[in-house]
Amino acid sequence: MNEPLIQRHWAAIAAPKAAPAVATSTVLILGRIWNANGAEHSVGNAALMVVLAAGAATAGAFAAAGRAGDPVIAGTAFATSGGLALAGVAGYADSLPLPILLWAVATAAAYGLAARYWRTDRRDTVAYERQSTVRREEHGHIERVELLRSRTQIEVARETSTGYADALAQALTARAALPGFNPQTLTDAGLPELPTHTEHH
């Protein structure tokens, strides 16, 4: 029953790690398909890819410039520029060595960029887990303190009520032992009748 969960867990971990290689390989394959369908030595197609790649790189440069630059947009734009350049070379070249070389460079660069984001994400995850653990420990400590406090209050109340009852009983007993004390006076005043002690000879 746990095997599907374990397989899904490993798939969730492995999928992001394989994404850069899958992306660059897909671009290389599509470029070679394009090459086989008329893009080989086509100056117009090559010029189109150069323009698109340069435009994506320019967009990435603008996104990265300044203090308000967005690293995610910049990284995406640069990755798009690299992919277009790889597709253009793969489509224009008549042999595989140059496209494969560019594929290897693009894959290494993609993993370099991705590793940076993976490290940041890992640090954020570890920090969040640490904060969650600290909060759970603090809440557990507060609950234990409150439990001890409530138990102490209950014990104090119980001892106080027991002591009061004992003191009242002793006071009533001592009062009843006084000469001339008449329990009927208390009864007439509306108080409960005190028990009478019968002596056995």
Span 16-71, pLDDT tens digits: 778 888 888 888 898 889 888 888 888 888 888 889 889 988 888 888 786 666 77
Which pLDDT does position 147 carry in this prediction?
87
State the pTM of this model: 0.54
Q: Please check whether residue 103 is in contact with residue 23, taking contact to mean a CB–CB distance below 8 angstroms.
A: no
| 13 vs 107, higher pLDDT | 107
Q: Please check whether residue 89 is in contact with residue 106, taking contact to mean a CB–CB distance below 8 angstroms.
A: no
Which pLDDT does position 6 carry in this prediction?
59
Span 93-119, mean pLDDT? 84
Which pLDDT does position 176 carry in this prediction?
65
- Between CA 23 and CA 106, with CA 15 as vertex, the angle to 5 degrees is 30
Span 121-177, pLDDT tens digits: 888 888 888 888 888 888 888 888 888 888 888 888 887 877 777 777 777 677 666
How far is 33 from 17, CA to CA, in rounded Å? 26
Which pLDDT does position 192 carry in this prediction?
56
SS3 sequence of the chain: CHHHHHHHHHHHHHHHHHHHHHHHHHHHHHHHHHHHHHHCCCHHHHHHHHHHHHHHHHHHHHHHCCCCCCHHHHHHHHHHHHHHHHHHHHHHCCCCHHHHHHHHHHHHHHHHHHHHHHHHHHHHHHHHHHHHHHHHHHHHHHHHHHHHHHHHHHHHHHHHHHHHHHHHHHHHHHHHCCCCCCHHHHHHCCCCCCCCCCCCC
Span 66-104, pLDDT tens digits: 666 677 788 788 888 888 888 888 888 888 888 888 888
Question: Nearest-CA neighbor of 49 among 99, 107, 108?
Answer: 99
Confidence of residue 199 (pLDDT cuts 50, 70, 90): very low
